[in-house]
A and B are shown apart, each in its own frame.
Chain A
Amino acid sequence: MKEFEYLKPDSIKKTISILSQFGEKAQILNGGTDLIVEMRDKIIQPEYLVDIKAIPQLNRITYNKQDGLNIGATVTLNEISNSKVVQTHYPILVKACKTVGSYQVRNRATLAGNICNASPAADTAPPLLVLEAKVNIIGPTGEKIVPINQFFTGVKKNILKKGEIVTSITIPPIKGKWVGVYLKQGRKKEVDLATVGVAVVCIRDEVRIALGAVAPVPVRAFKTEELLKGKTIDESLLEKAGRSALTEVSPISDVRSSQEYREEIIKVLVRRAILQAKGGHIL
């Protein structure tokens, strides 16, 4: 690993001023579970590493009925899945957090880090897409809120400009009864990246669908959602939904799977996730 300066500011203001001062030479260190590997492999070689874990207001989970759930940037995936509030109101998020890496990794890795790293296979991305999460960002020009479906811009690329940091992720409240499901297909049960990930949220007659690891960015399947809206879910509609979802993504062959296998699994998981969310049995 190349040498660098380690900085640990204790406020957002100081962080932004450091990031603005050093520009491209600076890199944020959060959980480090992706970054340190990339630094070891010399893919990223920052001159200044800015550890944001000493900033108290980034380490909170808050929840209320009006504003929904807010998860600070440095809250770890294990802290999220152990949170009673998240377990009660957003079990889909607990499920997704628990499928990332190993227990050890989840003690360091964060939700903000998972989305900033912007892997197409990020397990928390499909659930955040169907929950219509908002990403809270602060930079030299002030604060802004970006809907999660505009946050990812390409493989390992996001909308953040230099000097900007994600401070938290907000999941707005959903009115009425709803059910969320996240299904992940990997090569093995534990500690693997997703070959395909599918999240579904059903709210009354609305169905939201998002897919991971099947396009350069995690994808919300709006066309398929339109197809399902207000309709009674039956066998033929489920089949149509699977085929429709396939038209909204662009799976490739890689070390984890062939394109053909991904296409099959997309159809299976979309169908299975909708059925589970609708309370039906898995066929």
Chain B
Amino acid sequence: MKHKIRFTINGEVKEIEVQPNKTLLKMLREDLDLIGVKEGCGAGECGACTVLVNNKPVNSCLMLAVEVDGKEILTIEGLSDGINLDPLQESFLKHNAIQCGYCTPGMVMSAKALLNRNSHPKEEDVKEALAGNLCRCTGYKRIVDAVLDAVKKGGGK
């Protein structure tokens, strides 16, 4: 039986019907065309599917869509205002913290959540926050540098 759920996605209230066996990840990609969120492992190991639910980063592959009823979701598509990128996104670009780009939306969302809860994170904090996001192209140095630089520029406010 389908369930009618109502939630806020990137600032917009939506009401849709979903099958209980659909993950949040699948709903975002297949029903809402938010394909910034990626499926990597589908088991909570890689973090490519990270989105914020009520301001907390979660693996959208490990959550059912029905569970977000009444909640607020932020995906990579909701970070920029349509004209300007989020300072974190700017910083990822500046530091070339992207290679193939598959892990990037998850990385940026984990970093965004960190800056929301801690406006002055240290390098250890950044590494802890990003430990659940795997990048298989390159190292993590540029990514950590990008986050720390965004903090320096007041990205954490």
Contacts of A102 in B (CB 8 A): 44, 47, 59, 131-133
- State A33–B63 Cα separation when bound (angstroms): 8
Interface membership of B1, Cβ < 8 A:
yes
- Do residues A108 and B62 form an inter-chain contact, with CB atoms below 8 A? yes
Say yes or no: B57 contacts A33, CB within 8 Å: no
Interface residues on B, range: 20 to 34
Complex CA distance for A53 and B58, rounded to whole angstroms: 16
Pair A108/B66 contact, Cβ less than 8 Å: no
Find B23's partner among A2, A36, A107 (CB 8 Å cutoff). A36
Contact B57 A2 (CB under 8 A): no
Docked Cα-Cα span, A101 to B43, in Å, equals: 11
A1-B1 Cα distance, complex, nearest whole Å: 15
The A-contacting residues of B in range 36-95, CB under 8 angstroms, are 42-45, 47, 50, 56-59, 61-64, 66-67
Number of A-B contacts (CB under 8 A): 79
Is A44 located at the chain interface by the 8 A CB criterion? Answer: no
Say whether, besides A6-B66, A108-B58, A103 and B19 are in contact (CB < 8 Å): no
A91 at the interface (CB under 8 A from B): no
The reply to whether the CB of A4 lies closer than 8 angstroms to some CB of chain B is yes
Q: Is the CB of A37 within 8 A of B110?
A: no
CB proximity of A121 to chain B, nearest CB, Å: 15
Find chain B residues with CB under 8 A from A3 CB: 19-21
Task: Establish whether residues A105 and B128, one from each chain, have CB atoms under 8 Å apart when the complex forms.
Answer: no
Contact A107 B58 (CB under 8 A): yes
Which residues of A lie under 8 Å from residue B110 when comparing CB positions?
103-104
Docked-complex contact A104 and B44, CB < 8 angstroms: yes
Inter-chain CA distance A94–B131, complex, in Å, is 17
Q: Which of A102-136 contact B (CB under 8 A)?
A: 102-105, 107-108
Question: Would you call A234 an interface residue if the criterion is a C-beta within 8 Å of the partner chain's C-beta atoms?
Answer: no
In contact, B20 and A5 (Cβ under 8 angstroms) = yes
- Find chain B residues with CB under 8 A from A137 CB: none
Chain A residues in 8 Å Cβ range of B62: 32-33, 36-37, 105, 108
A49, CB-defined interface residue at 8 Å: yes
Binary contact readout A26-41 vs B (1 if CB under 8 angstroms, 0 otherwise): 0001001100110110
Q: How far is the CA of A199 from the CA of B142 in the complex (A)?
A: 36
Chain B residues, CB < 8 A from A32:
62-64, 67
Q: Report B-chain residues with C-beta under 8 Å of the C-beta of A108.
A: 58-59, 62-63
Closest chain A residue, CB of each to CB of B51: A104
Closest CB in chain B relative to A47 CB, distance in Å: 11
List 5 additional contacts besides A3-B21, A39-B21; criterion CB under 8 Å.
A5-B20, A32-B62, A37-B44, A51-B66, A103-B57
Residues of B with Cβ closer than 8 Å to A? 1, 3, 19-21, 23, 42-45, 47, 50, 56-59, 61-64, 66-67, 110, 127-129, 131-133
Give me 7 A-to-B residue pairs in the complex whose CB atoms sit less than 8 angstroms apart, sorted by A's number: A3-B21, A5-B20, A6-B66, A33-B44, A104-B132, A105-B59, A191-B132
Chain A residues engaging chain B, CB cutoff 8 angstroms: 1-6, 29, 32-33, 36-37, 39-40, 49, 51, 53, 78, 101-105, 107-108, 190-191
